[in-house]
Structure 1
Amino acid sequence: MKLLYWLDDWLSQTPEQQQTSLPFAGSDLLGDVFVKYHFIDTNKPLLFTFSPAGTNLQEQDLHEDFNPWGYKLARSQQVNIISFQHLGRSNWFRSRNLIFFIEQLAELLGPFKCRLGYGLSRGGFGVGAFANLLKLDQVLLFHPVSTKNKAKVPWDQRSSTDIAQKFDWLGDYHDVDLGHAKGYIIYDPTNPTDRQHAKRYPQLNHLRVYGMGHGTHATYLTKFGFYKQVAVDFIANQQIDVAAFRQQTRTLRFKEDYYKKLNKANAQSAHRLSLLSKAHQILLEEKAQHIQDHQAQIDVQPLVDIALKHEQDNPQDAIQLLEVAQQLSPEDPLIDHKLKQLK
């Protein structure tokens, strides 16, 4: 627990000495959780991140350059960071070693006046469970799990709930406890379990993204840059431009995956499926009209150049790029010719 020893010594210094002794970076292994930290300036926010599910990282996989979830993003935004990465597939930040560490850590962070939390799904649970202890001011949570205590969330019937029962869900920090923290919770209201968990965060600003899903849609949204754009805004300003956020989510409607996910989420409702079909058709017409109206302003050459450059090594990627270019410029003979060649 090198960080605790360093902080204890660091606090004995004057504020001026504390500032001149930065930056300071390092890592600790707390049983089944790896923590990495980097402090640069007490006047800048201190961000806490907890990793989401989706990895089966083991201790032997750790190396000097390994970065937990959210760590590189914090570094790129020039803020202080303490990042917790769970090890193993089923790990809900419930180990006694970790809890003891965070309890001690919370007493040593006085110089950092602005404290933020950022987490997704299981990571959102970690932020919510320790928010009050760490005196977080603002949090950003994507479809967080509030707890796996079956008595409190009997409607959470996901397989992860049964697997998580091997942990203690009655002891300290097993449930959401935000303290005075404010901020944002972003989730898909068409996912009934996520919607129920979201209700347990009443003090946060609820931002709903229809079709975002839980887990299965995360890779798609990551490629689209959705999570990163929102997180950067939050870290830089400690708030989200809600108007810009809503405009960003509207662009999801132009992605075919968006409707596929919505259709899947509403498979049991013929009424909703009918409404989605109508909305999808209207959008396709709007999209075609938009392209037609702006045809003269669209330069597809960069797409074509990249496709031609990679047609030998990655023909399928080249085809996809050319198909997008053809949608934007359907009369271009070169694009039509190359597509016929590659197909």
Structure 2
Amino acid sequence: MKLLYWLDEWLTLPRNEQQTRLPMTGNDLLGDVFVKYNFVDVNNPLLFTFSPAGTNVQEQDLHPDFAPWGYHLAQKQNVNVIAFQHLGKSNWFRNRNLIFFLEQLSTLLTPFNCRLGYGLSRGGFAVGAFAKLLKLNQVLFFHPVSTKNKELVPWDDRSSTDIAQQFDWQQDYHDLDLGDAQGYIIYDPTNHIDRMHAKRYKQLTHLRVFGMGHGTHATYLNKFGFYKQVAVDFIQHQQIDIAQFRLQTKTLRFKEDYYKSLNKANVNSAHRQTLLSKAHNILIDEKEVHVQEHQAKIDIQPLIDVALKHQDEHPNDAIQLLEVAQQLVPDDPLIEHKIKQLEE
């Protein structure tokens, strides 16, 4: 466990000398969990990430450039990071090697005053379970899972819960234990099990996104940068701009793929299909009004001026500029006339 030895020695140095020893990067294999770390600045936040389900890496997949889930995101934000990647499909971070490592690690982090945790689903469970141990200040969770202990969450009847029973859910760190951590939990309130798990995180700010499901729309939301943008906001500022978050989720609702994903996820529920259809029709009208309001604020005159200035020397370029202007304001007769004139 190279990191523990390095930190133990590093802590004996004066703070100014600690900084001169950075950056420092490395990795360890802790039984069935791979950990990679990167320390860049003792004054910057330290981010812990744990991988979600679906990132089913095997030990043979590891290579020198392999990065656990969330590692590159932390690098781009120039924060210190310790990223844990579970190996194998069914792995809930219950391995004794990992737990021993974290217990030792928790005593060696005193120089880092700001400690953050970020995880989705299974990764969020791990962040929540080890938050008090690691003395995290702020946490961010998507798709909550508080525990797989059936005695504590008898209503969690997912297949993943049954599979998880191969692990010990009675010993330490089997349930959420946030300590003094504050932060955010983001989930779909129409997902009954997610909503019940979320209720157990009473000290966090709850942000609800209708229709995001649990894992069903992860690829869809990721395509539009939803997770990344929220995480970047959290990492950079240790808080989320809730007004901006609401605007972002509203923008998602204007995308047709959103409803395609929801319809697919609820194909067996006629009641939900009807509700989705009504919501979709309402938002089609809302979107049209939004577009019209946006177009009304656009000043296309500079585009027209440039096109007219260069129409003799570069007529094709002028046409392209006018076509862009026409897309912004489709019903302008002057633009249409000018395009036809240049094409003749």
TM-score (norm 2): 0.84
Are 2:266 and 2:273, in contact at CA under 8 Å, matched by a contact in 1? no
- In 2, Cα distance between the equivalents of 1:330 and 1:132? 58
Corresponding residue of 1:196: 196
Are 1:38 and 1:81, in contact at CA under 8 Å, matched by a contact in 2? yes
Secondary structure, counterpart of 1:166 in structure 2:
coil
Corresponding residue of 1:138: 138
Corresponding residue of 1:35: 35
Secondary structure, counterpart of 1:19 in structure 2:
helix
AA aligned to 2:12 is S
Change over 3 Å in CA distance of 1:282–1:96 after alignment to 2:
same
Are 2:143 and 2:215, in contact at CA under 8 Å, matched by a contact in 1? no
Mapped pair 1:15 → 2:15: yes
Mapped pair 1:173 → 2:186: no
- In 2, Cα distance between the equivalents of 1:212 and 1:135? 30
Corresponding residue of 1:305: none
Are 1:187 and 1:195, in contact at CA under 8 Å, matched by a contact in 2? yes
Secondary structure, counterpart of 2:160 in structure 1:
helix
Higher mean alpha-carbon deviation, 53-62 vs 124-133, is at: 53-62
Are 1:140 and 1:184, in contact at CA under 8 Å, matched by a contact in 2? yes
Note the C-alpha offset of 1:327: 9.3
Note the C-alpha offset of 1:273: 4.9
Are 2:230 and 2:245, in contact at CA under 8 Å, matched by a contact in 1? yes
**Which residues in structure 2 correspond to 1:1-343 (within 5 Å)?**
1-263=1-263, 264-265=265-266, 268=269, 270=271, 273-295=273-295, 297=298
Change over 3 Å in CA distance of 1:293–1:68 after alignment to 2:
same
Change over 3 Å in CA distance of 1:130–1:298 after alignment to 2:
farther
Secondary structure, counterpart of 1:36 in structure 2:
strand
Are 1:212 and 1:258, in contact at CA under 8 Å, matched by a contact in 2? no
Q: Which runs of 5+ in 2 are unaligned?
A: 301-325, 332-344
- In 1, Cα distance between the equivalents of 2:80 and 2:110? 14
- In 2, Cα distance between the equivalents of 1:193 and 1:88? 24
Secondary structure, counterpart of 1:146 in structure 2:
coil
1:273-297 superposed Cα distances (whole Å, 9 cap, x missing partner): 5444332112112223433455584
AA aligned to 1:193 is I
Note the C-alpha offset of 1:257: 3.5
- In 2, Cα distance between the equivalents of 1:283 and 1:276? 10
Q: Which runs of 5+ in 1 are unaligned?
A: 300-325, 332-343
TM-score (norm 1): 0.84
- In 2, Cα distance between the equivalents of 1:120 and 1:294? 35
Q: Larger Cα Rg: Structure 1 or Structure 2?
A: 2
How large is the RMSD of aligned CA atoms in angstroms? 2.3
Instruction: State the identity as a percent.
Output: 74
Change over 3 Å in CA distance of 1:13–1:250 after alignment to 2:
same
Corresponding residue of 1:319: none
Count of aligned positions: 306
Change over 3 Å in CA distance of 1:131–1:266 after alignment to 2:
farther
Are 1:144 and 1:194, in contact at CA under 8 Å, matched by a contact in 2? yes
Are 2:119 and 2:142, in contact at CA under 8 Å, matched by a contact in 1? yes
Secondary structure, counterpart of 1:117 in structure 2:
strand
Secondary structure, counterpart of 2:165 in structure 1:
helix
Change over 3 Å in CA distance of 1:72–1:266 after alignment to 2:
same
AA aligned to 2:75 is R
Secondary structure, counterpart of 1:26 in structure 2:
strand
- In 2, Cα distance between the equivalents of 1:261 and 1:241? 26
- In 2, Cα distance between the equivalents of 1:60 and 1:329? 56
Secondary structure, counterpart of 1:57 in structure 2:
coil
